[in-house]
Structure 1
């Protein structure tokens, strides 16, 4: 028990320091990873019949997905943003349904969707990130 709390505290501090020094691209990666971890935890809680743990984990997963939705920048690519907003909304509805029905296959489906988005996000090159940051700075400077 003591070791587990120590590991959790270290991990939480590690994530906080990673976030503090992260660029926006890395923050999105960390959010996606966090959503995947909470979904996996929720799935495990369902399998163990830990209803309180399930509720906490899946609520947190929905909160993270909502943070991803809030981070979307409509000015960059409105059509893509519309599609991602719809997909994130679909995910939150499905997570809620899975929580009520205790259906882990639905959670597997949502995790698969996040993995697809994360896979594409992870392939963004440093040059692509710099170009995007340049576009953002140009838009901010023009205001």
Structure 2
């Protein structure tokens, strides 16, 4: 198992080093979703310490996403995302406090929706670049 963890760590570090800003945000979304899923598994296994660490890490990642918001360029969208991230952080805190897997699921759904939109931006930009090259 240690070899697998070492490989995953190197793979993650390489992904972060090679990531453009858009990809970095994608990695943060993926990391938060992964921590939430792992926390749910720890909750079901009655490993409350592990669950707490994972939820704390998810909250930290969402805080990182929040720090990337650009209110000058993003305007109302950035303000709306800030409110959503705040709600996610508070909901994760409550999920941890009350061992509520439903709240973990709710935040996971919300994060996936925002991530899907973010992923769509990349796809749309790539499509526009291909059209411009023609």
TM-score, normalized by length of structure 2?
Answer: 0.90
Match status 1:37 vs 2:7: no
Q: Match for residue 82 of structure 1?
A: 79
Match status 1:66 vs 2:63: yes
After superposition, what is the alpha-carbon deviation per residue over 1:12-43, rounded to whole angstroms, capped at 9, x for unaligned? 11011111011000000000000000000111
The runs of 4+ residues in structure 1 deviating greater than 2 Å are 125-129
Q: Which structure shows the bigger proportion of residues in helix conformation?
A: 2
The unaligned stretches of length 5 or more in structure 1 are: 132-143
RMSD in angstroms over aligned alpha carbons? 1.4
Aligned length: 127
After superposition, what is the alpha-carbon deviation per residue over 1:52-106, rounded to whole angstroms, capped at 9, x for unaligned? 1001100000000000000111121210010000000000000000001001011
- Whether the 8 Å contact between 2:22 and 2:122 is mirrored in structure 1 is no
Q: Match for residue 120 of structure 2?
A: 123
Counterpart selection for 1:92 from 89, 92, 95: 89
Q: 1:126, CA displacement in angstroms?
A: 6.0
TM-score, normalized by length of structure 1?
Answer: 0.85
Q: 1:127, CA displacement in angstroms?
A: 6.6
